[in-house]
A and B are shown apart, each in its own frame.
Chain A
Amino acid sequence: MKQRLVVIGAGMASGRMLEHLFEAGGNFDVTLFNGEPRGNYNRLMLSPVLSGEKTYAQIVTHDADWYAAHGVDCRFGEAVVRIDRANRVVYSNAGGVPYDALVIATGSAPFIIPVPGKDLPGVCTYRDLEDTNAMIAASRPGAKAVVIGGGLLGLEAAAGMAARGADVTVIHLMGHLMERQLDPAAGYLLQKDLEQRGIRVHCKGATKAILGKDRVEAVLLDDGTVYPADLVCMAVGIRPEVRLANDAHLEVGRGIAVDDQLRTSDPAIFALGECVEHDKQLFGLVAPLYDQARVLATTLLGEAAAFRPVQTATKLKVTGVDLFSAGDFADAPGREDIVFRDPGRGIYKRLILEGDRLIGAVMYGDTADGAWFFDLIKQGRDVTPMRETLIFGPSFQGGAQADPLAAVAALPHSAEICGCNGVCKGKIVEAISAGATTLDAVRSQTKASASCGTCTGLVEQVMALTLGDGFTANANPPMCKCTDHTHEDVRRLIKSMGLKSIPAVMQELGWKTVGGCASCRPALNYYLIADWPTEYRDDRQSRFVNERNHANIQKDGTYSVVPRMWGGVTTPAELRAIADAAERYHVPMVKVTGGQRIDLLGVQKQDLPAIWADLNAAGMVSGHAYAKGLRTVKTCVGTEFCRFGTQDSTGLGIRLEKFLWGSWTPAKVKLGVSGCPRNCAEATCKDIGIVCVDSGYQISVAGAAGMDVRETEALLTVATEDDVIEVVAAFTQLYRENARYLHRIYKWVAKVGLEWCRAQVEDPVTRRALYDRFMVSQAIYQVDPWAEHAATPKDWAPVADLTLRAAE
């Protein structure tokens, strides 16, 4: 007698399983239920259907003839509602069908985030043909679509709708797209590609509500952003469809538990596909499901087979976007990275090695070698012999070791070295032979590497070849071991190439490490803040401890807190608040600083928010006492009290401090304002000093009194306080825009020359433009970080306290 086999779900997995079963001549009476009103089709290909590259008819895998030929009783559009295990019958609303063996292949259900408005008409998910058709219908040119979720499915939905002319926005909770398959660098490239297709991408966006009266009208995010929408597609993840199995009391974890034979806790019931959990693992891609299909068919035929999950690789099915990821690419003990970036062509490749084996690969822009790497991962082969050239792929293997100098030597004279300026190797060699022996000289004579700068390394190699031992590479050293670029180059390129995030800089400038180091990250964070004040968002984790915690760390791990004391002037009320805080938080030392303010030393980290809140309540703001930013403006008593005073130096100092505080600078900035040339405020050894005279104000700059002691040099003399403010702001902005990180003003001025600085701030148009840019930045950054952080005291305390537990 024929076995009665009932299958619930006509999806990718069960379709493949039935093929194997019939090909092997299995003797079964099959009843196939499907919730969708149709039979098996290729779900993966819904994306080409959405984008218009394929039709539904083209993606059907099994047609009516096939089911008829194999005697399959098709119950399409008939969802199973109950399994009666005791009597071995499954029920739909149309009645029961008895089975000898049952296969559950119900796939998974899209996850719906529980926000208000989720049930409004116009909200869909992305799972089946109905969803696809809804999106096609809504994608009229000009229509607005919002996709929530920047993973594989969300992006395919977004690209498909955009291809039909819709105006699409993707909202993604995480910091970069497809974070489960890609690292930040590849995520950055992907975002750039999508943006070039007109798709707006909003990362770090948490959906708060879907707005609309009778149907969707807009999506509201936590940060207050609102995106108008005619259609909202939620593609935030999937959940195994386990309801039937749960109701039937089968063993269910996150998915239906199955063994190596795909058998559930009931020996007559099997399960496969996305609805199962095997060895604690869930499945979301078809490759392992096809293996399951083969194993289950063999099992049903009474032969031995066992399912072993394989590695999977991901590709995004968006025409023109090339990305590939496989294996494991998380940082972990004993793992090493090999990184290759070709910014000009938008290529990023990263290989992850563990010991002598390749265990993961992420590639963007050029994925031709993806299959080869994937194969190496699956084989677990020892890659030591080809390690040096592994990243260049299979075509490079077997040959001699790649020597970069030899490669450059082999280039013909006509080979282009600098793409931006069209400079060939011959021209560079010519310039060198004519006496250009430094990179700067070659740059100024040939223009090679003078634009985007990414060919600097190549130019240096040509120089090394031509000059031999006479060449010492780049007297100005690279920023750090992560890059060959100097600070100056990086600053220039950030601006000229419009790079607006740390991953963007690292990708476009060919960083050699994955995530930078403690030396380049704070510098990049500063450069981006200074150059794109309105667009870039500060990255706290790329700041040194003093700036991250807004207090100065001490040798014993406690902190010092220094409230701002404008121009060194205080009041009894402020002093009282400081005294109260010192007592309340058991501050071991209260000290008057060399910068005319009061330092509370030895504060415990967890007390910081409370002490800030107290000082805030008394009207005091953060001193940025620790910051690469404005420190103090030291003043003397001036005309207010002093018999020699020529101007109100105290008042001007306060004005300057209130004007400049909060601005981030390459290194700390200190000012002094003295009321007369007796100079009691020591203005002439500050970064910027003002000495008041009868006729006005002498502004001088580039002094220091630290490891180097130097006197300031005269910049300009101006007539009014307003002029002082404008010149000082303009000069500070010039410094902010041009200096390298950690260079004090005196070091920077020594490099660029005081003449140049003076020319900039003397010219009224340039000065005004600098001033205006400073004000734009101040509009955003002149905030009191104390107030902000005092609101979240929990973040400053230990996250857990196990001291009591151990005492138990």
Chain B
Amino acid sequence: MTQFIDIAALAEIPRQGARVVKTTAGCVAVFRTADDQVFALDDRCPHKGGPLSEGIVHGTAVTCPLHAAVFDLTTGQGTDEWQVKTHNVRVEAGRVLLDAAFLARRSAA
């Protein structure tokens, strides 16, 4: 089941940058690419927990700010087979909607 929640205006996320959404399941980084694609990933690098939201965004990838692992925003796959969880996110009428189903699952568990 999907459960899209309005989290922000697209304009609040800088191009080639990210903003953070706080959740009970940890922070989620919502990225915006140079061409206005939006992606959401857990804001924790599997290496040593670096905040991916602070990395440099290039194309549809982000480089971790701590030790420069590179992650594909579309799949969450990164250097050395690391994997970050991705979340559904979409833009409608200039608003960014995040699928918060993962929270429901968690609180149900």
Cβ-defined contact, B19 with A332, below 8 A: no
With the chains together, A335 CA to B7 CA distance in Å? 27
Chain A's closest residue to B28 (CB) is A802
> With an 8 A cutoff between CB atoms, is A399 at the interface?
no
Option from A335, A514, A540 in Cβ contact (under 8 Å) with B14: A540
Cβ-defined contact, A553 with B59, below 8 A: no
Cβ-defined contact, A334 with B59, below 8 A: no
Q: Mark B88-103, 1 if CB is under 8 A from A, else 0.
A: 0000000000101001
> With an 8 A cutoff between CB atoms, is B75 at the interface?
yes
Chain B's closest residue to A176 (CB) is B34
Cβ-defined contact, B50 with A557, below 8 A: yes
Cβ-defined contact, B56 with A800, below 8 A: no
Cβ-defined contact, A542 with B56, below 8 A: yes
With the chains together, A545 CA to B66 CA distance in Å? 9
Q: Mark B17-29, 1 if CB is under 8 A from A, else 0.
A: 1011111110100
Cβ-defined contact, A802 with B24, below 8 A: yes
User: Hey, which chain B residues are within 8 Å of A515, CB to CB?
Assistant: 16, 34, 58-59
Which interface residue of A518, A542, A544, A553 has the most chain B CB atoms within 10 A? A518
Cβ-defined contact, B37 with A805, below 8 A: no
Option from A175, A333, A806 in Cβ contact (under 8 Å) with B23: A806
User: Hey, which chain B residues are within 8 Å of A545, CB to CB?
Assistant: 54-55, 65
User: Hey, which chain A residues are within 8 Å of B8, CB to CB?
Assistant: 799-800
CB distance from A588 to the nearest CB of B (A): 17
Given known contacts A518-B70, A541-B16, A798 and B37 CB-to-CB distance under 8 angstroms: no
With the chains together, A555 CA to B20 CA distance in Å? 18
> With an 8 A cutoff between CB atoms, is A522 at the interface?
yes
Which interface residue of A515, A540, A548, A807 has the most chain B CB atoms within 10 A? A515
CB distance from B98 to the nearest CB of A (A): 8
Given known contacts A557-B50, A798-B27, A521 and B58 CB-to-CB distance under 8 angstroms: yes
How many A-B residue pairs have C-beta atoms within 8 angstroms? Tell me: 117
With the chains together, A183 CA to B36 CA distance in Å? 11
Cβ-defined contact, A544 with B56, below 8 A: yes
User: Hey, which chain B residues are within 8 Å of A806, CB to CB?
Assistant: 23-25, 100, 103-104, 106-107
Which interface residue of A544, A802, A807 has the most chain B CB atoms within 10 A? A802
Q: Mark A316-342, 1 if CB is under 8 A from B, else 0.
A: 000000000000011111110000000
> With an 8 A cutoff between CB atoms, is A441 at the interface?
no
User: Hey, which chain A residues are within 8 Å of B61, CB to CB?
Assistant: 517
Q: How many residues of A contact B (CB 8 A)?
A: 39
With the chains together, A550 CA to B20 CA distance in Å? 18
Option from B15, B37, B68 in Cβ contact (under 8 Å) with A330: B37
Chain A's closest residue to B86 (CB) is A333
> With an 8 A cutoff between CB atoms, is B84 at the interface?
no
Cβ-defined contact, B19 with A798, below 8 A: yes
User: Hey, which chain A residues are within 8 Å of B98, CB to CB?
Assistant: 800, 802
Option from B7, B30, B59, B65 in Cβ contact (under 8 Å) with A513: B59
CB distance from B37 to the nearest CB of A (A): 5
With the chains together, A800 CA to B98 CA distance in Å? 10
Option from A330, A541, A553, A556 in Cβ contact (under 8 Å) with B36: A330
User: Hey, which chain A residues are within 8 Å of B22, CB to CB?
Assistant: 798, 800-803
> With an 8 A cutoff between CB atoms, is A160 at the interface?
no
User: Hey, which chain A residues are within 8 Å of B70, CB to CB?
Assistant: 518
Cβ-defined contact, B58 with A799, below 8 A: no
Cβ-defined contact, B21 with A553, below 8 A: no
User: Hey, which chain A residues are within 8 Å of B15, CB to CB?
Assistant: 175, 541
Which interface residue of A330, A798, A806 has the most chain B CB atoms within 10 A? A798
Option from B5, B12, B59, B74 in Cβ contact (under 8 Å) with A514: B59
Cβ-defined contact, B37 with A555, below 8 A: no
With the chains together, A379 CA to B68 CA distance in Å? 41
CB distance from B67 to the nearest CB of A (A): 10
User: Hey, which chain B residues are within 8 Å of A609, CB to CB?
Assistant: none
Report A10-61 residues with CB < 8 Å from chain B CB: none
Option from B5, B35, B56 in Cβ contact (under 8 Å) with A541: B56
Known interface pairs A330-B36, A806-B103; 18 further A-B residue pairs with C-beta atoms within 8 A, sorted by A's residue number: A175-B15, A330-B35, A331-B33, A331-B60, A513-B59, A515-B58, A518-B55, A544-B65, A549-B54, A555-B48, A557-B51, A798-B19, A798-B21, A798-B27, A799-B12, A800-B98, A802-B98, A803-B23
A-B contact pairs, 9 of them (CB 8 A): A332-B60, A514-B59, A540-B14, A542-B16, A553-B54, A556-B49, A800-B8, A801-B21, A802-B21
